[in-house]
Every structure is written in C-alpha cells, then in structure tokens.
C-alpha cells in the first residue's frame, strides 16, 4: 500500500472526502491498474454527491481485472441518486451475480429494498430488507428502513424494535427523530381514549361544549396529518372519530338551546 492510499483511507474514515478524492487520484497515477483504488475513489465521490464523476471512475475500473461487485454496487447507488432507477436496478443485480461477501450482499439487498420502498412496493421492499438485514445485521440503515416499512404495514411493535436497533447501531438525529415519532404515536394511542372519555364526561357535567369542539379540531387535524404521511387507515379513523364527536356536539347544542 502506497503512502497516498494509506492517507486517503485515513481521510475517508475521518469523513474528509474531498481530501480522500485528491489522495486517491494521486495513488491511481502511481498504480493505474488497481481496481481497488478506483472503487475507493468512486465511493469517496459518491459521498460528495458527485455521482457522474463516480460513475466515470467505475467505468474506468471495470476495464481492469478483479472482482467488480463493489463497483456495480456503487454504480447502482449513483444511478439511483441520479434518478435512473431501471439502470440502478440492473447494476444492483449485476453486483449480486458475483458477490461472495455476505455483508456486501446484504448491503445490495438493502439498497434494492429501498428502491422498492420508494416505488411503494411494500411486499418486495420488506422481503429484500429482511434478507439484507439478516446478512448484514450491523447495518443501521437497513434496520431504519425495516422500521419504516413495518410502520407502513401497521406492524407497530416490529417497527419500534427495528428503530431501537438502528438507533443503538448509529445514534443519529435521523434515527432519534423516527424513534420519538413512533413512541409518541404509541403514547397518543394509549392516552387518546382516556382523553376522549374525560372530555365527554366533563362536557356533560359542566355544560361546556367547547371542549368537544376542540376535540373535533384536534382529531380532524390528526387524521389529515396521518393521511399526508401515508397512514391512510389511521387517518380515516381519526376523521370518522372527529365526525362522531362533532355529532355529539351538535346534539348537545340542540338539546341545550
């Protein structure tokens, strides 16, 4: 390993991707037949969102001898980020053809799962993500995506389990935000019936119908929020409950006149 390659690896691990790119380019000048160097250059360019330059580096590398699996994987990521989904899928499947490393195979399957998830194909997304995470259990991103798909499918317990694993593997703001969302929703699910019963009883006892009207607004807003987030079943339930409470409000208002 040359000095430039060693320094480039250090820069990449320190998330200094611009520096890593420059050092990998210098290392390639000294060793232009290294498939590994081109792959690591492409990975650094991918991290900088310079997808077209990364694809160009991969094209040069594919002409050299050696295992192309990592190159097809990076190319698939770049193509997907550029919006070329059909080509990205083809590249991921090319990576699967020759892969021997289970962790890399898991990463490929997780990326295919993300693609199916973005295409609203929940079942294929779930299948690929489950297989990917089984092969690469240390992938926080795989667990994060699994939590998301479980939540879409209404499997709240599994979603909370996966997001907890994701957060433990990588305590990022992204994972923390989704973790708080899932547990806030669980808390609301437990507390909402209690609040409704209390508000209903309070309105009857005090004659203050504004409490019921406020509940209508809250339930309606909550229902529309969940529908906007793709949770149509929960959102519709919230809107129907809002209509029911509104009918109660209307009945009490008529009786009280």
79, 100, 121 — which closes off a domain?
100
Q: Which of 70-79, 120-129, 229-238 has the lowest mean pLDDT?
A: 229-238
Which of 142, 171, 200 is where one domain is finished? 171
Q: Kindly tell me if the per-residue pLDDT of 179 is higher than 90.
A: no
Instruction: Indicate whether 10 and 68 sit together in one domain.
Output: yes
What's the pTM? Answer: 0.66
In the predicted model, what is the mean pLDDT of the chain?
80
Helices (H), the chain: 3-13, 17-30, 35-47, 51-62, 69-81, 85-98, 102-118, 122-135, 140-152, 156-169, 173-206, 210-228, 232-256
How many domains does the chain contain in total? Answer: 3
Rg for the chain, CA atoms, rounded: 26
Query: Same domain for 113 and 41?
Result: no
Domain end, chosen from 100, 129, 160, is at: 100
Are both 86 and 45 inside the same structural domain? yes
Are residues 33 and 62 in contact, defined by beta-carbon separation less than 8 angstroms?
Answer: no
pLDDT at 255: 63
CATH code of the domain containing 134: 1.25.40.10
Give the pLDDT band (50/70/90) at residue 235.
confident
Give, in order, the Cα–Cα distances in Å from 71 to each of 43, 52, 62, 160: 9, 14, 7, 34
**Is 176 part of any domain?**
no
Whether residue 75 is found in the same domain as residue 119: no
Q: Is residue 179 part of a domain?
A: no
Which has the higher per-residue pLDDT, 188 or 142? 142
- Note whether residue 177 is domain-resident: no
Q: What percent of the chain has pLDDT over 90?
A: 21
pLDDT given for residue 244 in this prediction: 73
Let me know if residue 142 belongs to a domain.
Answer: yes
pLDDT digits (tens, 9 = 90+) for 91-113: 999 988 878 889 999 999 999 99
- The whole-angstrom separation of Cα 199 and Cα 177 is 30
Are residue 52 and residue 92 in the same domain, yes or no?
yes
Residue 29 has pLDDT above 80, yes or no: yes
pLDDT for the residue numbered 245: 67
Domain that residue 227 falls in: 184-252
Domain annotation covers residue 110:
yes
């Amino acid at each position: 390993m040359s000095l430039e390659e060693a320094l480039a690896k250090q820069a990449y691990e320190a998330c200094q991707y611009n520096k890593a790119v420059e050092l990998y380019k210098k290392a390639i000048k000294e060793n232009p037949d290294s498939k590994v160097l081109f792959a690591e250059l492409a990975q650094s360019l991918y991290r900088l969102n310079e997808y077209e330059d990364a694809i160009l580096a991969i094209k040069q590398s594919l002409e050299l001898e050696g295992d192309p699996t990592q190159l097809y994987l990076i190319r698939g990521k770049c193509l997907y980020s550029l919006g070329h989904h059909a080509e990205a899928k083809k590249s991921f499947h090319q990576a699967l053809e020759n892969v021997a490393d289970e962790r890399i195979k898991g990463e490929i399957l997780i990326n295919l799962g993300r693609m199916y998830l973005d295409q609203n194909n929940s079942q294929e997304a779930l299948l690929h993500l489950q297989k990917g995470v089984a092969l690469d259990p240390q992938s926080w991103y795989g667990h994060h995506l699994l939590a998301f798909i479980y939540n879409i499918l209404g499997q709240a317990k599994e979603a909370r389990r996966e997001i907890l694993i994701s957060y433990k593997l990588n305590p990022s703001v992204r994972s923390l935000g989704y973790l708080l969302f899932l547990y806030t929703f669980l808390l609301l699910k437990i507390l909402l019936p209690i609040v409704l019963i209390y508000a209903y009883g309070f309105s009857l006892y005090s004659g203050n119908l504004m409490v019921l009207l406020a509940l209508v607004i809250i339930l309606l807003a909550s229902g529309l929020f969940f529908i906007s987030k793709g949770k149509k079943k929960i959102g519709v339930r919230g809107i129907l409950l809002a209509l029911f409470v509104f009918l109660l409000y209307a009945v009490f208002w008529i009786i009280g006149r």
